[in-house]
Amino acid sequence: MPLGSPTALVKLALLSHALAATVLTGAVTHLAVVVWAARRGRANPRLMKLYPAVALVAFGLTFALGALTYPIYRVSVRAAFLDQHAVWASVLFDLKENLAVLVAPLLVGAFALTRSAPRRPDPMLALCAWGAAAAVWFNLLAGLLVVSVRSV
């Protein structure tokens, strides 16, 4: 696999996708904890503004890199292997891809609702933060499971 070959570029895109997803998972997990602490009276307005911004940027990168490698996965992984030998992984991957779209409004909402740095977050922010954290963790674990079976 020479550097600069199509295969090396696809692997680089996949690794970058994984790195961005790791940053996203860290940001939404910290946001979920910060929101939980704020609801118990221990607010940190600086962190409450920071984590949604980091999460939104990481989400954009993860989403774009995932979309870039998706066609290659669809042909060389899903059609060539998973649909015959591991249908559960194929279904899990599709679930992850579709769930990624549904996470977008929660992250945008968390970003918008924290611009005024509330000292006590309302239930809407809590649902955005906790919902996004749950979905992103599901996607991270689903992605790892699928890659453990076969990857691009």
For position 64 contacting another protein by CB under 8 A, the verdict is no
Site for another protein in 70-109 (CB under 8 A): 70-72, 74-75, 79, 91, 94-95, 97-99, 101-102, 104-106, 108-109
- Among the listed ranges 2-10, 24-32, 46-54, 118-126, the one in contact with another protein (CB under 8 A) is 118-126
Q: Rounded to the nearest whole angstrom, what is the least distance from the CB of residue 95 to another protein in the complex?
A: 5
**Is-contact 152 77, C-beta < 8 A?**
yes
Distance, CA of 73 to CA of 135 (rounded, Å): 21
Nearer to another protein, 3 or 66 (CB): 66
Nearest by Cα to 82 from 150, 142, 145: 150
Nearer to another protein, 27 or 152 (CB): 152
Give whole-number Cα distances, 90 to 44, 54, 95, 110, in Å.
41, 30, 9, 31
Opening angle at CA 57, ends 56 and 63, nearest 5: 85
CB contact set of 101 (below 8 Å; sequence gap of 6+): none
Distance, CA of 66 to CA of 55 (rounded, Å): 16
**Residue in 67, 85, 120, 144 binding another protein, rule: CB under 8 A:** 67
**How many residues interact with another protein (rule CB under 8 A)?**
30
Site for another protein in 23-62 (CB under 8 A): none
Kindly list the residues in this chain that would bind another protein in the complex (CB under 8 A): 67, 70-72, 74-75, 79, 91, 94-95, 97-99, 101-102, 104-106, 108-109, 112-113, 115-116, 118, 122, 124, 127-128, 131
